[in-house]
Structure formats: C-alpha cells, structure tokens
Amino acid sequence: MTAYFKNIKNGFKPKNYINYVVITLFLIISIISQPKTSTTTLLANMGFAIILAVSLNLVVGFLGELSLGHAGFMCIGAYIGTFISNQIFDAIGSKLVVLILTMIIGGLIAAIFGYIVGFSALRLKGDYLAIVTLAFGEIVRDICKNIPAFGGAMGLKNPHRYGNNLYIVAFVVALIMLILIQNLIRSKHGRAITAVRDNEIAAKAMGINVTYYKLFVFVLSSFFAGVAGVLYGSFNSIILYGDFSFNKSIEILVMVVLGGMGSINGSILAAALITFINTFLQSKLPGDLSALRLLVYALILMIVVIFNNAPALHKYKEKYSFSALFAKVYGKITDKFYAKHPEKKQARITDDSAAWNRVPSKIKMDEVLSTDILPDDKNNDTDTEDKRDE
C-alpha cells in the first residue's frame, strides 16, 4: 500500500489538476463576492456552456466523430427535466432535491436517445454521420414543439425557477464531469478511445471493441448534454423550442474547435470566452444588430483555423501555446525548488519503481551488457582450429 501511494506521488503532475483548482477558486471567489443578477446570469450560462463543450469534445475531439445534434440532447433534458419538475415539485418541496432528481432523470433519458441514435448513426462516417445527428436534433425540436403537454409552440412554463444561485450547481456539475472525463481519458479505456480515433482498422486489429467504445462515448456525451439541458430549463421561466436550433449545435461545435479538439482545458476557456462575447454583443447590439455576433463567431473560427494550419505560423504556435508557457513557468519553479533541495531531485530519480535495475529478472542487466564482449577460451580454441582447417 505504501508503494502504491508513493507511485501516485511520483506520478503526480500539476497540469492534470490545474482546471480543478481554477474552477474551484473561481467558484469560491464568485460566492464570496456576491455578484449581481446580470453577473450570475453570465456565470450560469458559462457553466452550461462548459458542460456542453467538454461533453461534445469527448465525441468530436477524442473519438473523432462529427456530431451536429448536441442541441437535440440538450432539448430533451430541458423539456423532460422541466416537465418532471412541475409534476413532483409540490410533493417534494425542495428545489435542490428536485433539481438533482431531474438532472439524473433528464440525463438518463437523453443517454437512452443517444444510444438509440448512436447504435445506427455511428456505423456511418464523416458527413453522413453529421447529417444524421443534425436531422435528429431538428426532429426532437419539432416533436417537442407539437406536444401539448410541453406547451406546444408557446413553450413549456417553469413556475419553479431555481434562481440566480444556479451557477453554483452548474459549476459543481462541471467539476464532477471534468473529474469523470479526465480520469476516463487517462485510463486504458481512454487510450482505446483515442486509438479508435487515430486508426479504426488498427484498433480493431489490436482487439479493441470499436462499436462498444463508440457507443459508450456517445451515450456519455448525450448524458451530460441532457444534464446541461435540465440546468438550462431550471434557470429559465419558459422553455422555447427555438433555443435548441441548429445554430445552438454550431455554437457548441465552435467552442470545441476554438479551444482545440481533444483539449479539455481549451474547451473550458473557449466556452467561457464565447459565452462572454455572446452576452456582451447582445447587450451592446440591440434588436436585429445582435445577429452580428454570428459574424464574430465566424471570424474567430477562421482565425483559429488559419493559426492552427498555416505552416508559416507553426513556430509561433509552438512558442506561444498555453502548454509551452505552462511548461516554461513550471520548469522555472521546479528548477528553483530542486536547486534548494537537491536531495529531493535525487530521491525522485532513485525512487522510480520501474527503473531497469529494480525490475526482477533471471539475468542481471550487468551480465547482459557484458555478454560476448570478450570471447572465452573455448571460443578461442574453436577459432584457431577453423583457421588451421582453412
């Protein structure tokens, strides 16, 4: 047991936990500062966007499949969660308990639909998969619009709106989601998922169940999209089908592309940035001018694509990326620490349980390295006899 915890200590990398610390500190500071109503609205929308962006990045970035129906799963969670909340609120009475129950139920129902869609759609690839998921999102939206129990075209009313403190729940859910997804990606299952993304044929040849992992990732992503929809529905007094249009799916996809596909920290930053830009432009561009924010999204996306793919900018990308800056700062800190405590550095090197000189084997490594360097007497006699025969 001691060796197990020592290996965890030696394998500890601060960069793997920096997002947990940042989100926790951000949440604590926001609670202490007691922000205004407009700020809590912005924070809540950021929390929803982070959940949606990271969950979609699981499909697009780590699995390598293009999905354009993420808003459809969010729509399912919003309508189902609000409908169930209206039915059970009087019996329970606690807003927090009702919210937790509806998040679980709404997320599970969205996951079931994700399994149904993914079982057939994930057999397709490329543009065909994108078209199927896009059609699913539009079908779900139209069905919710025409169900009388969901309010029809007038929308589903939510008389039990959670309130301005919902951003706290949203960030707590986002933190739980990050813990689950990051541990999944760093596990053997995460390596299997990325193997499917890199080369599906090679993954099959290595014995990876490609269908299982595709469905698993799609269902997990759908679950968190449904949870985000429940949170969105709990924050608003009325749920309208127009809030889950194709543009919403594109907005979430832009967050993933802007932050970098396969980068969880990038998705978090991009979700917060685009939500802030969206809120800022809506307040500064009244009326029809607010549609210009879509032009801003397009410009941002074009700049990111050019920056990521232009060969002339490749050296600047490596030099000024977040990972390079973090490695530089972290390297300076560790160098100063080890300069003051050189014994710590030596202990970290010698305590490596996987070092070659600590792995038990039948033949010592020194013997392997010295084998056949100097021939023995028997080999000398054999060589001499061979020469005489010649």
Q: What is the pLDDT of residues 222-257, one digit of tens each?
A: 999 999 999 998 988 888 888 888 888 888 988 888
Q: Give strand pairing partners of 239.
A: 156
CA–CA separation, 28 vs 43, rounded Å?
13
DSSP codes joined into one string, 86-134: HHHHHHH--HHHHHHHHHHHHHHHHHHHHHHHHHHHTTS-THHHHHHHH
State the residue for tokens 């924010």.
Answer: 293
Tokens of 84: 């169930």
Classify residue 11 by its DSSP letter. Answer: T
Query: What is the residue type of 349?
Result: I
Classify residue 59 by its DSSP letter. Answer: I
Q: How many CB atoms lie within 10 A of CB 318?
A: 10
- Angle among Cα 226, 229, 234 to the nearest 5 degrees reads 130
- Stretch 19-45: mean pLDDT: 86
Q: Identify which of 73, 75, 55, 71 has the alpha carbon closest to the alpha carbon of residue 63.
A: 55
CA–CA separation, 71 vs 140, rounded Å?
9
- Here the contacts of 33-37 (C-beta below 8 Å, separation 24 or greater) are 37/164
Q: What is the pLDDT of residues 187-198, one digit of tens each?
A: 889 899 999 888
CA–CA separation, 167 vs 27, rounded Å?
9
pLDDT at 17 over 80: no
pLDDT of residue 301: 72
- Angle among Cα 340, 321, 193 to the nearest 5 degrees reads 100
Residue 300, judged by CB atoms within 10 A of its CB (0-12, 13-18, 19+), counts as middle
pLDDT of residue 287: 67
8 Å CB contact between 272 and 44? no
Q: Is 2-309 a domain of CATH 1.10.3470?
A: yes
Instruction: Strands of the chain (E only): list them.
Output: 156-157, 238-239
Q: What is the pLDDT of residues 347-376, one digit of tens each?
A: 555 444 555 455 555 455 455 445 554 555
pLDDT of residue 180: 92
Q: Identify which of 112, 329, 299 has the alpha carbon closest to the alpha carbon of residue 219.
A: 112
Question: SS3 of 214, please?
Answer: helix
CA–CA separation, 333 vs 277, rounded Å?
34
8 Å CB contact between 278 and 293? yes
Which of the two residues, 267 and 300, has the higher pLDDT score?
267
Classify residue 311 by its DSSP letter. Answer: G
Q: Where are the domains of the chain?
A: 2-309, 325-389
Alpha carbon separation from 362 to 254, 350, 365, 368, 370 (Å, rounded): 56, 22, 9, 11, 15
CA–CA separation, 56 vs 327, rounded Å?
27
Q: Identify which of 218, 248, 229, 259 has the alpha carbon closest to the alpha carbon of residue 134.
A: 248
CA–CA separation, 160 vs 170, rounded Å?
17
Confidence class for position 39, pLDDT limits 50, 70, 90: confident
Computed over every residue of the chain, the mean pLDDT equals 80
